[in-house]
Amino acid sequence: MGIILSIFLTGIYCAQSGNWGNVSVGKDSEDRWEATLENTRISVRYGFRMKEYAEGMITDFIIKDFPDENVAGNTMDAAAHRGELINAVIVKDSPEVKTVRLEWDPTPTKKFKGPAVSEVSISPESPYIKIDYLSYCFPHVCDIGSPGGIRGKVTDASTGGTYVIYGAEEWQKARAKITDPELRNHPNEHHRVTDDLYPLYPKPLIDRGWGETPMSYKGWYIMGVYNEKNGRGYGRILPVAAVPYIKLLWNKGFELFPFWRTKPEPHTEYLFVVEKGPDEIISFGKSLVDMQVSNAR
């Protein structure tokens, strides 16, 4: 399997390919780092997007059968206080998997130390990427996507999709039994328990100290958001032990706080797309968990 080197207007572009896909890293036309992972089903690009600060994140998450829809939407696999990509390297290119190592600088405030480092992998014929979060600038992950191609103002829930989270109904029943007035009447909405099935930002879906959650499937959360009209959307699986605090963002995605108020440790998540609605989010999420659990043995 060869290595193709091409000179772009800025920097060196390095691409490695196989018969099922390719992975590439290099500089864009503005001399900023980017990385692309692609197989027969999806194409995922990490690059530059300007918000309050310049940030590196997933800018394109394309289901190839629907090339005009960008599931990445406004923000995907972004992180607070994590700035631009400062390096991208291909670390594996095999018949089984292709992996890039990404490094980010902290935002210009330099409030937190860096770099943040992730390794992102893609496999043949798979509608998902595997993300190994190795180090952080700040323990935070944010997705505000476009399920099924829905676009609109970031905070407008009416232009979002529909949530589905494994075990959410049982967790709703369990939360209804929580009577602690400190949680029920917490002055900060970010920490206030509610009885909503899917409480939207700023209210949290879970919080440490509320008890065990029925949302755990073999130690993992399975969550997604989809377009009711066409069934397309995306989801994540993430280890319960690693993510003690979750918020739902305007029917468009998730805000996760890995190892909140504890020392951050490396952990793995999967980000995937679906075409057949809520049942596929749960069934495919379960298959990813089963694979991860089996590989960990």
Q: Is the domain of 180 the same as that of 217?
A: yes
Q: What's the CA gap between 67 and 97, in Å, rounded?
A: 23
Q: Is the domain of 154 the same as that of 126?
A: no
Q: Is the domain of 67 the same as that of 93?
A: yes
In a domain, 116, yes or no: yes
pLDDT at 9 over 50: no
Q: Is the domain of 51 the same as that of 102?
A: yes
DSSP string of 10-58? SSEEEEEEETTEEEEEEE-TTS-EEEEEEESSEEEEEEEEESSSEEEEE
Which residue range forms the structural domain that includes residue 121?
1-138
Would the pTM of this model clear 0.75, i.e. be above it?
Answer: yes
Q: How many domains does the chain have?
A: 2
In a domain, 4, yes or no: yes
Q: Confidence class of residue 15 from pLDDT cuts 50, 70 and 90?
A: low
Q: Is the domain of 248 the same as that of 186?
A: yes
Q: Which of 15-24, 41-50, 266-275 has the highest mean pLDDT?
A: 266-275
Q: Is the domain of 31 the same as that of 102?
A: yes
Q: Which of 92, 112, 138 is the last residue of a domain?
A: 138
Q: Is the domain of 120 the same as that of 174?
A: no
- What are the tens digits of pLDDT across the range 175-204? 888 888 988 899 999 989 899 999 999 999
Vertex 135, ends 129 and 139: CA angle to 5°?
90
pLDDT at 8 over 60: no
Question: What are the tokens at 91?
Answer: 């670390």
In a domain, 199, yes or no: yes
Q: Is the domain of 120 the same as that of 176?
A: no
**Residue recorded with tokens 């970031």:** 154
